[in-house]
Structure 1
Amino acid sequence: MQQTARTVVIHEHGGPEVLRIEDRAISDPGPGQVRIRHQACGLNFIDVYQRAGLYPMEMPHALGMEAAGVIEAVGEGVTHLEPGQRAAYAAAPAGAYCEARVMPAAQVCPLPDSISFDAAAAMMLKGLTVEYLFNRTTPLKRGDTVLFHAAAGGVGLIACQWAKSEGIKLIGTAGTDEKCSLAQFNGAAHCINYQTENFAQRVAEITKGEGVDVVMDSIGADTFEGSLDSLKPLGMMISFGNASGSVPLIDIGILAKKGSLKITRPTLFTHIADHTVCQAMARRLFGKVEGGEVKIHIDQRFPLDQVADAHRALEARKTTGSTILEL
């Protein structure tokens, strides 16, 4: 008898109202695939971008990029996982909002027993993002200064702790005083409430006019110009998200005028495309968590059938830390 799994699917792009839960058939894994039964799923802004159409998808399509669970079956050629093994992932294609699925095995990672399924589902996409931001995008060393937007979000709270563990001074931004306090509690040296202060001016004050070595910006349109203004000469701007909308087109000459700045727009999925690199990144993340240097904050939990409410909360910036969908 063929198995089915409750799965969140969209048939058109739009608001949270387009999210539907359907029973979808799941098969045995083919070569290079696994079947994984989820225990928890993660919620991320990329899910919103895909649902809304900023990142267009063929319809109908399941949503979700991150989950943790138990391997039920492996296909031919899969050697790093076996049935009964705990595992977690952040990987394409979308489809993680479900009870179980068949998917490519290369980016599915063995999960240490010491890390819970909930924590793994909350941290894979966010934690691997922080890993590439701090270790693979531009050289960073102890004593460097980073401006990190949305410092009280899921990625941000991991970044605050990661920076502190490596001796990097992180200046965060957030939208309320409470969120700023949360970021500082988790390791930010400073946190600026961008609703009440001009963050670029405040960065200049904190750095005594020097600016920061690197900006890590997932907000996009609302913060882009101020982010460039916060960099020191030869500084690096890492634009890795569009929470407030896409960054407008710019005249590349502005980078020269503002101090020979550098800019990049990386994605996690480029970094983890190589199986060996992906597994190494996951081991580094797991090591940070197992060693106590990074604690995962799960501040919101929604049942799978309340996924639309979870999207509304995320888009309204009413969340802190990570959000998971419970199965």
Structure 2
Amino acid sequence: MKAVFITEQGGVDNMIYGEVPFPKVTDNSVLIKNHVSGINYIDTYHRSGVYPVPLPFIIGKEGAGEIVEVGKNVTDFKVGDRVVHFGSGTYAEYTAADVSAVEKLADDVSYEQAAAIGIQALTAWTMVRDGYPVKKGDTILVHAAAGGVGLLLCQMLKHLGATVIATVSTDEKAQLAKKNGADYVINYSCEDVVKRVNEITEGLGCHAVLDGVGKDTWDTSLACTRRLGTLISFGNASGVVPPISIGCLAQKNVKLMRPMLFNYLATREESKKWWGEVFELLRKKVLNLHVHKFYKLEDAKQSHLDLQGRKTTGKLLIKF
């Protein structure tokens, strides 16, 4: 089958589009013919070496498609089921996925929708319901608010009754963030984020700061978090946050969290809970999905260039 894989971690030129062996189904897994696969920042971490992976490695962590084979111990799924799945190796025509990482799709949820809400919507929703349980009246700062997770966070936060402060890099992205629920938008290319946050909050800062950027925004995020507030650093778009002295949290008694989505989905019960809540948000039209572009599998290299070049808004998808 066709897939995009690496034999060595590094730049986008290490991404190879070619033939790989057909995946084998184990007793507790299913074989899925992918119709759509999601492109996420974590894919760039696996490709570049931020996160070590066993080599050779097929890139990709989420996809949506139909089951074409089931393992002998599988009872919850059958051939023909429409599903969304997590795991690895989704930049490929077929993926073998453990049943713990697979969820059925309702008839009214398309493959495109499923792949668009997977990792990003679950990342956002677990963050605002568990990482910092957002309450009506809270003021929340969202970095990179025009990105895939950022746009979903803006919508979810508005749904929960929060005041949303968003940071973006261009005026065009500012308009998109406003359309998706941001009350205040700060263009960090020409505005001082800390100064503007203090103006908006009358010097108090934000109840929570949600930071998927990483290294470049760490100091800003800490400065924008109010006394007894929460700082959630959930991504490394600009690089990994350098080692910190824990004493930096003491000045304002700040709570710091560094979540990983898959630790919320460790059991079948947890997976069903979080997926169920996200699907309900979709049904209630709380979530307005914004797909930046559909790529062909052979163009996956370009998708990474676009994503890391800050040329995109919303979700990037591979369509087979």
TM above 0.5, yes or no, is: yes
Does 2:57 match 1:57? no
Does 2:286 match 1:293? yes
Hey, what's the Cα distance between the residues in 2 that align with 1:187 and 1:84?
A: 38
Q: Is this contact kept in 2: 1:43–1:323, CA < 8 A?
A: yes
Equivalent residue for 1:325? 318
Hey, what's the Cα distance between the residues in 1 that align with 2:95 and 2:18?
A: 13
Hey, what's the Cα distance between the residues in 2 that align with 1:102 and 1:23?
A: 16
Hey, what's the Cα distance between the residues in 1 that align with 2:22 and 2:97?
A: 10
1:325, distance to aligned residue in structure 2 (A)? 0.8
TM-score (norm 1): 0.95
1:102, distance to aligned residue in structure 2 (A)? 1.1
CA deviations 1:82-119 (Å, max 9, x no partner) are: 21111112x23x21101111121111111122121112
Q: How large is the RMSD of aligned CA atoms in angstroms?
A: 1.2
Does 2:187 match 1:188? no
> Structure 1 residues 222, 35: CA separation in 2 closer, same or farther (over 3 Å shift)?
same
1:79, distance to aligned residue in structure 2 (A)? 3.2
Equivalent residue for 1:10? 6
1:124, distance to aligned residue in structure 2 (A)? 0.2
Task: Supply the AA of the counterpart residue of 1:114.
Answer: D
1:77, distance to aligned residue in structure 2 (A)? 3.2
Does 2:65 match 1:72? no
Task: Supply the AA of the counterpart residue of 2:92.
Answer: C
**Counterparts in 2 of 1:20-59, with a 5 A limit?**
20-27=16-23, 29-59=25-55
Equivalent residue for 1:155? 149
Equivalent residue for 2:139? 145
Task: Supply the AA of the counterpart residue of 1:22.
Answer: G
Q: Is this contact kept in 2: 1:119–1:298, CA < 8 A?
A: no
Gaps of 5+ in 2: none
Q: Is this contact kept in 2: 1:72–1:83, CA < 8 A?
A: yes
Does 2:105 match 1:131? no
Task: Supply the AA of the counterpart residue of 1:205.
Answer: E
Equivalent residue for 1:248? 242
Equivalent residue for 1:106? 100
Percent of residue pairs identical: 38
> Structure 1 residues 20, 204: CA separation in 2 closer, same or farther (over 3 Å shift)?
same
1:27, distance to aligned residue in structure 2 (A)? 4.8
Hey, what's the Cα distance between the residues in 2 that align with 1:175 and 1:148?
A: 13
3-state SS in 1 of match to 2:65: strand
Hey, what's the Cα distance between the residues in 2 that align with 1:318 and 1:194?
A: 16
Hey, what's the Cα distance between the residues in 1 that align with 2:167 and 2:267?
A: 33
Hey, what's the Cα distance between the residues in 1 that align with 2:132 and 2:75?
A: 33
1:29, distance to aligned residue in structure 2 (A)? 2.2
Task: Supply the AA of the counterpart residue of 1:131.
Answer: W
Runs of 4+ in 1 over 4 A off after TM superposition: none
Q: Is this contact kept in 1: 2:134–2:160, CA < 8 A?
A: no
Equivalent residue for 2:84? 88
Q: Is this contact kept in 1: 2:232–2:257, CA < 8 A?
A: yes
Gaps of 5+ in 1: none
Hey, what's the Cα distance between the residues in 2 that align with 1:21 and 1:98?
A: 9
Q: Is this contact kept in 2: 1:45–1:243, CA < 8 A?
A: yes
Q: Is this contact kept in 2: 1:26–1:102, CA < 8 A?
A: no
> Structure 1 residues 139, 31: CA separation in 2 closer, same or farther (over 3 Å shift)?
same
CA deviations 1:193-237 (Å, max 9, x no partner) are: 111111111111111111111111010011001101101101111
1:28, distance to aligned residue in structure 2 (A)? 5.1
Q: Is this contact kept in 1: 2:66–2:80, CA < 8 A?
A: yes
Deviates more, 1:110-119 or 1:229-238: 110-119
